[in-house]
Chain A
Amino acid sequence: MTETTTSQYDAIIVGAGHAGIEAALVCARLGLETLLVTGDYKTIGQMPCNPAIGGLAKGHLVREIDALGGEMGKATDATGIQFRMLNCSRGPAVWAPRAQADKYAYMDYCRKVLENTHHLTLAEDMVNGLLFESLREPPAESLYHHRILGVKGESGIEYYGKNVIATTGTFLNGLIHIGLESTPAGRIGEKPALGLTESFIALGLEVGRLKTGTPARLAPHTINWDILDIQSGDEPPPPFSHFTRKLELVQEPCHLTHTNEKTHQIIKNGLDRSPLYTGVIKGKGPRYCPSIEDKIVRFADKTQHQVFLEPEDRARTSIYPNGISTSLPLDVQLGFIHSIVGLEEAEILRPGYAVEYDFVPPHQCYPTLEIKTVEGLYIAGQICGTSGYEEAAAQGFMAGLNAALKLQKKPPFILDRSQAYIGVLIDDLVTKEHHEPYRMFTSMAEYRLLLRQDNADLRLMDFGHQFGLIPDDFYREFCHYRSSLDVEINRLQNTRIKIPSPHPHNAGEESVSLEQYLKRPEVTYVQLAEKDPASGEIQYKLKQQVSIAVKYQGYIQRQITQATRFKELESKRIPESLDYNKIISLSKECREKLIKIRPVSLGQASRIAGVSPSDISVLMVYLHHRV
């Protein structure tokens, strides 16, 4: 029996992980009647891998989501148990906030926020199919062949909606491996999502398979903490959210240990029962997140690997050993863990495992994350082939926002590579072909020195406010801060101080502006305040931003020039319905790639592998003559 919900939603979000939460919140906050369907109400906002948010590039993403009005930064601040700013010994562009979260508190926080959001309905059901219709007459100048109508759940209920955002994580035909045993599951102990992949295939979409993994969880009372090195949080703890003025908490430490040659020998002896090395696992795993067996095989000369012991919650009910992700059989897992200093007696609460799952290669999406051929269907998160909570949240936010904007007949919101890590992430997803789970790195951002975590608000908060996601009073405060930056720089330029002349033959003093003085590598506001008391009165955030602007002016200016150049090619649009087969001068390989990816601009086209500069000139000439 098929039941139908009486109401038709504006947006249905499938999955309540980090992508689904942001997507649902942004849709509902923009006034869309939104339904969030989750397979298990108890696991909303689950952190199935390490209980941490942020890090390099990922922390940047969270700051950006926050500046746009997303939830992840606030959730982390509310539930974190340890906060650090990574890379503080380096320049500000690559500082990155990272936090250990209490994963249970985090889930609780997310569920409550969802429950308290207007226009948002929650439902517990396992979605096992998409409802859609074929378009007999596709709209002109568009690629749509189908229109989404809703989803159906295993309960038999059909949910109707104008937009569907699929954020299915690792659940699509999920298959878990522990040793040579494999079990259908989305995460350990949770049912996989069956049937949905078939819907994507029925829509004519390409589907691929990826793999990821996680280590065993350990029982804290069986670990010999006393002999392990401690890694503590920063004091004061640096918050994620622009809205958090100050964090007050007692921070929990992490501990550090190492594998050793005995560990490696045990692992080597177990390789004949590894699903990775016996060919049982077909999906491609990420190179940046290798399992411990992978590390030992590929880097045989390393005699040890570090293992961080991260508490999963404040109560320390379980420990996540970061660095020893594995899919070896349980007896091998136990064996090698016991060979590690401090873990000799450790008990495994839950074994490590690898999971294979289906994904929908995102080159089939517009930069809005809407599927090009299916009107109203969006994908975000691991279904797009990414890894990481932060990457998922960023996509979920952008997919939800764009679904809402489209429904409100407003132009799409697409960030480019010079504006935000979010822009880099989504451009990479829709432009390049991916053969392993995609993770964000700062090295992927060409304009890294501009895309800092400290200026996410300056880059993006105007947008957030424009969408109604940043409260007016907070925005006014932000605008005041922004204008005081110019005031302060002006003050530094126009205030002169006397400093001892650096030239030994010139025994006197010389007069420099505060700006010139601050440019010196060894000078900070501390030294400024010694010469100029007014500089001591400047608030921390302002000081930090002004120091960066003054000290890195040359580098920043250079990247601004580069970004301007980049935007030129980016602004040259390619019509959606362009028939590449008519451009005979394109090489065959290039034509195939262009037809596959269908770039929206010459800039995007130039980033497709296999498209050469000569192809771009041909395209440029062709477009020029066509207009």
Chain B
Amino acid sequence: MPIPKDTIAAISTPLGEGAIGIVRLSGPDTYKIADRIFSDRHPEPFSQRDSYQLYHGFIKNPQTAEFLDEVLTTGMKAPGTYTGEDMLEINAHGGILVIQRILELVLQEGARLAEPGEFTKRAFLNGKMDLAQAEAVADLIRARTDLAKKCALQQLEGGLSCKLKVIASELLDILAELEAHIDFPEEELPPQLYERDIQRIESSSRILEDLLLSARYGKAIREGVRVAIIGKPNAGKSSLLNRFLEEPRAIVTETPGTTRDTITESVSIEGIPFLFTDTAGIRETSDPIEQEGVRRTEAAITKADMVLMVMDSSQPLDSQDEDVLDTLKKYAPSACLGILNKSDLLSHPVIEKDKFQELIKTLVPLSALTGEGIKELKKLLVDTIKQGEVTDAGGELILTNVRHAELMGKTLADLQLTRESMSSNLSPELVAADLREALHHLGEITGEYITGDLLNRIFSRFCIGK
């Protein structure tokens, strides 16, 4: 059994942001390492100190005696920790560079760099959390914006489990009635009313549907929405991108694209990370390059969740526009917005909208130059992702896990079957078979065997027995 014998370490705060960063260790050698690199006014080794106590001191490289940073550290003793192992958290203040050097020092002293999600994996293996919690934590690790963190935290605290438990309880009540009628045909039980049960199942289904619809939104929050900005040169792609980047706080990272000529910028709009890929910089002077431009546009479209086709609305469509439209037609992306740029130049755009309205349903007049229409575009982008399914992330539970979404989809299908069986007035054991399947899938989300207390429900609700 690969019971973790080594000690792992990682930076557990997002890189690049904020002045404080945390280096976290977990495993049997945690305190040995801590004693070597951390010094303060307390003489006793870490293993003899109190758990969950903050100690103020310094990180020094024991081999070179080099001073790295002034820090606060907290030791947490097994098994009452997140991973179930000995843990240490070093809160450093010196910015990203210093934090990385502290991590290197820890690794030099015998720790191993944690794989993504390895803390959670250990917590899971040590029986510290159920499946839903573990998966929510895994999402937390990947969470890139505040909203995503909020979602993940909600699930972690059992928001999802709690909501599902309410549904499971309602379904179990219905099942208990069905079962009582099956197993005790000689008893004088209140009649089973399928019409009423159908209504109860419908309201449970609605809650599940809301959760499921949020799954799409959840994916966007976790992984970011890839938006390709396409269009002929000088249509205003770069200006549009710059408009998005205008608010400095919105900039999260800036990474060069896979080729020199595409740029991907990450921008957070209403908490959703949008990754804009600009195909700008394509030089279209000779035929071979032009082909290259088409190829890049194609690549950008196929990788994108959403496409923004930028056009100069002050001019009629030209052959370059037609080329881009042809490419677009070929791939027919599901979400495509047409940007009618340079709306400031003419009060009545001369561009022939009817030529592409089939292809592009939504058109946004905008001036990248003046910023007019940008606000509307941003709202449209967010709305497209939310699709009106989740109105507000505040307080609403958002499903950020693909497995959860899948199981919930199955549960909903089972409930649909259950309702149909009831509508066709099928015998209760058949209806129960459908309903049990729903409960089974619901239970898989939290990793619990939900039907365990079925008998309790039957006997507490019905007076049964000779």
Contact = CB atoms under 8 A, between A and B. Distances in A.
Given A584-B3, A613-B447, A295 B179 contact: no
A583 interface: yes
A409 interface: no
A375 to B, nearest CB: 31
A299 B464 CA distance: 10
Contact of B127 (A50, A587, A607): A587
B183 A448 contact: no
Interface string A475-510: 000000000000000000000000000000000000
A91 B463 contact: no
Given A90-B428, A585-B127, A448 B2 contact: no
Given A441-B183, A612-B447, A325 B131 contact: no
Given A299-B463, A448-B433, A91 B427 contact: yes
Contact of B463 (A50, A57, A295, A585): A295
A303 B434 CA distance: 35
Interface in B128-144: 129-131, 134
B55 interface: no
B127 A302 contact: no
B350 interface: no
A94 B429 contact: yes
B465 A613 contact: no
Contacts of B433: 448-449, 555, 558-559
Interface in A554-591: 555, 558-559, 583-587, 590
B429 A449 contact: yes
Nearest to B134: A614
A119 to B, nearest CB: 38
B35 to A, nearest CB: 24
Interface in A251-302: 286-290, 295, 298-299, 302
B185 interface: yes
B463 A305 contact: yes
Interface stretch (A343-351, A596-604, A618-626): A618-626
A93 interface: yes
B115 interface: no
B447 A87 contact: no
A590 B130 CA distance: 13
Nearest to B184: A56
Contacts of B436: 446
B1 A289 contact: no
A548 interface: no
B interface, size bucket: 35 or more
Nearest to A582: B1
A90 B3 contact: no
A20 interface: no
Q: Which of A56, A443, A552 gathers the greatest number of chain B CB atoms within 10 Å?
A: A443
Contact of B130 (A555, A614, A622): A614
Nearest to B181: A90
A443 B432 CA distance: 9
Contacts of B179: 441-443
A590 B127 contact: yes
Nearest to B178: A443
Contacts of A325: 466
A323 B466 contact: yes
Given A441-B183, A442-B183, A583 B1 contact: yes
A290 B127 contact: no
Nearest to B79: A588
Nearest to B447: A613
A302 B463 contact: yes
B251 interface: no
Interface in B261-317: none
Contacts of A30: none
B130 A91 contact: no
Interface SS, A side: loop
A585 B429 contact: no
B382 to A, nearest CB: 37
A75 B188 CA distance: 31
A622 B184 CA distance: 44
Contacts of A626: 1
B127 to A, nearest CB: 3
A136 B432 CA distance: 53
Size category of the binding interface on chain A: 35 or more
Interface in B166-212: 179, 182-188
Contacts, number: 117
A288 B131 contact: no
A550 interface: no
B465 A585 contact: no
Contact of B459 (A288, A448, A559, A621): A288
With most chain A CB atoms within 10 A of its CB, the pick from B2, B185, B463, B465 is B465
B452 interface: yes
B288 to A, nearest CB: 55
Contacts of A615: 127
Contact of B182 (A87, A308, A590): A87
Interface string B449-464: 1001011001100011
A325 B437 CA distance: 37
Contacts of A542: none
Interface string B99-138: 0000000000000000000000000111101110010000
Contacts of B131: 613-614
A90 B192 CA distance: 13
Interface string B422-441: 00101111101100110000
Contacts of A295: 463, 465
Contacts of B466: 50, 289, 308, 322-323, 325
Interface string A35-75: 00000000000000010000011000000000000000000
A362 to B, nearest CB: 18
Contacts of A559: 433
Given A90-B428, A288-B465, A614-B447, A586 B182 contact: no
A622 B182 contact: no
A437 to B, nearest CB: 12
A448 B429 contact: yes
B185 A585 contact: no
A323 B187 CA distance: 10
A306 interface: yes
Given A289-B465, A289-B466, A449-B429, A441 B455 contact: yes
A50 B455 CA distance: 23
A614 B429 contact: no
A555 B452 contact: no
Contacts of B187: 306
A448 to B, nearest CB: 6
Contacts of B455: 287, 441, 443-444
A449 B124 CA distance: 36
- Most B C-beta atoms less than 10 A away, residue of A288, A449, A586, A590: A288
Nearest to B458: A443
A306 B186 CA distance: 9
B182 A287 contact: no
B459 A287 contact: yes
A443 B130 contact: no
Nearest to A231: B186
Interface of B: 1-3, 124-127, 129-131, 134, 179, 182-188, 424, 426-430, 432-433, 436-437, 447, 449, 452, 454-455, 458-459, 463-466
28 contacts: A56-B183, A86-B186, A90-B185, A91-B426, A93-B429, A94-B427, A94-B429, A287-B455, A290-B465, A305-B463, A306-B187, A308-B186, A308-B466, A441-B183, A442-B182, A442-B183, A443-B183, A443-B432, A444-B455, A448-B429, A448-B433, A449-B429, A555-B433, A558-B433, A583-B3, A585-B3, A614-B127, A614-B129
Closest 8 CB pairs of A and B: A587-B127, A91-B427, A613-B447, A299-B463, A622-B1, A443-B179, A287-B459, A90-B427
Given A56-B183, A91-B427, A288-B464, 18 more contacts: A56-B182, A56-B184, A91-B426, A91-B429, A94-B182, A94-B428, A287-B459, A288-B465, A289-B465, A443-B182, A443-B183, A558-B433, A586-B127, A587-B126, A613-B130, A614-B129, A614-B130, A617-B125
